[in-house]
């Protein structure tokens, strides 16, 4: 697998100062933020010379620099995520966003085997089916995914290793066409649980997320467990 396109050298203190003066940032750059940025920048530098494992570490670190509150790249003299991506990572934003997403959900071995383009296509296919992908690292069981594709007029369900990127992309478009009236993230299980919880005043505030083949219920306070047990006892998971 080709190495990720990375910065060819470290950003000098002089350059960081110049960039910092050229932008207006409404966040105080304190010692804690500078220290966290230095750690991430070091990880980026360390990972840049490695192969698939380096890809994973590199783009997870890049994601951390963007998703931290406040963003760590501010301490590096960048005002926006776009400036950080193009100025420090030396990458197109679309490609960088794809790589960060793949690094979040795929293992180094999966990245080495399938490549980021195919894994990103697989994630889009799962999203089109109503699966929810939130922030943070959530490993996906890619080996269990089957794609509904058409091969010369014959329906097939190949694995990720067997399917091509073109087939996965076409299958994703077909899924989206079938669910044009369905908001993103509304998997059948999510809809059913949300409707069930709405019938209980104590459970209306609960959140339901779907990631691959896992459903997560959030905001469960200690006081609502009796009602939740009662509701779940009545729940029948819908097909699909």
What pLDDT does 155 receive?
Answer: 95
What pLDDT does 98 receive?
Answer: 93
Q: pTM above 0.75?
A: no
Percentage of the chain exceeding pLDDT 70: 79
| pLDDT tier, 137 (very low <50, low <70, confident <90, very high otherwise) | low
Q: Tokens in use for 195? A: 């409707």
| pLDDT tier, 179 (very low <50, low <70, confident <90, very high otherwise) | low
Cβ atoms 174, 148 nearer than 8 A:
yes
The least confident of 20-24, 128-132, 207-211 is 20-24
Residue with tokens 């694995």: 159
What is the C-alpha to C-alpha distance for residues 85 and 93, in angstroms, rounded to an integer? Answer: 6
Segments of the chain assigned E as strands: 149-151, 154-156, 207-211, 214-218
Largest CA-CA distance found in the chain, in angstroms, rounded: 64
Handedness of CA 168, 171, 173, 179 (dihedral sign): negative
| pLDDT tier, 91 (very low <50, low <70, confident <90, very high otherwise) | very high
Stretch 196-208: mean pLDDT: 86
Instruction: Quote the mean pLDDT of the chain.
Output: 82
Q: Tokens in use for 132? A: 């929810």
| pLDDT tier, 88 (very low <50, low <70, confident <90, very high otherwise) | very high
Residue with tokens 């299958």: 171
Give the total residue count for the chain. 240
What is the C-alpha to C-alpha distance for residues 60 and 54, in angstroms, rounded to an integer? Answer: 10
Stretch 90-111: mean pLDDT: 92
Percentage of the chain exceeding pLDDT 90: 45
What pLDDT does 228 receive?
Answer: 93
Q: Tokens in use for 58? A: 């590199």
Q: Is the peptide bond before 70 cis (omega within 30 degrees of 0)?
A: yes
| pLDDT tier, 154 (very low <50, low <70, confident <90, very high otherwise) | very high
Residue 11 has pLDDT above 70, yes or no: no
Nearest Cα residue to 193 out of 223, 220, 215: 215
């Amino acid at each position: 697998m080709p190495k990720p396109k990375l910065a060819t050298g470290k950003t000098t203190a002089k350059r960081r100062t110049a960039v910092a003066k050229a932008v207006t940032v409404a966040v105080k750059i304190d010692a804690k933020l500078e220290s966290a940025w230095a750690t991430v920048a070091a990880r980026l530098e360390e990972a840049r010379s490695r192969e698939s494992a380096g890809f994973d570490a590199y783009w997870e670190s890049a994601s951390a620099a963007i998703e931290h509150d406040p963003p760590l790249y501010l301490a590096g003299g960048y005002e926006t995520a776009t400036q950080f991506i193009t100025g420090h990572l030396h990458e197109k934003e679309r490609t960088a966003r794809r790589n960060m997403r793949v690094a979040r959900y795929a293992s180094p071995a999966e990245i080495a085997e399938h490549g980021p383009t195919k894994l990103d296509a697989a994630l889009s296919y799962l999203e089109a089916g109503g699966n929810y992908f939130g922030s943070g690292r959530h490993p996906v069981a890619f080996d269990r995914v089957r794609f509904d594709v058409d091969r010369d007029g014959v329906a097939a369900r190949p694995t990720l290793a067997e399917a091509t990127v073109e087939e996965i992309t076409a299958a994703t478009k077909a899924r989206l066409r079938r669910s044009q009236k369905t908001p993103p993230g509304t998997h059948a299980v999510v809809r059913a649980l949300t409707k069930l919880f709405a019938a209980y005043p104590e459970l209306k505030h609960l959140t339901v997320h779907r990631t691959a083949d896992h459903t997560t219920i959030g905001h469960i306070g200690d006081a609502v467990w009796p009602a939740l047990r009662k509701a779940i006892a009545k729940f029948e998971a819908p097909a699909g």
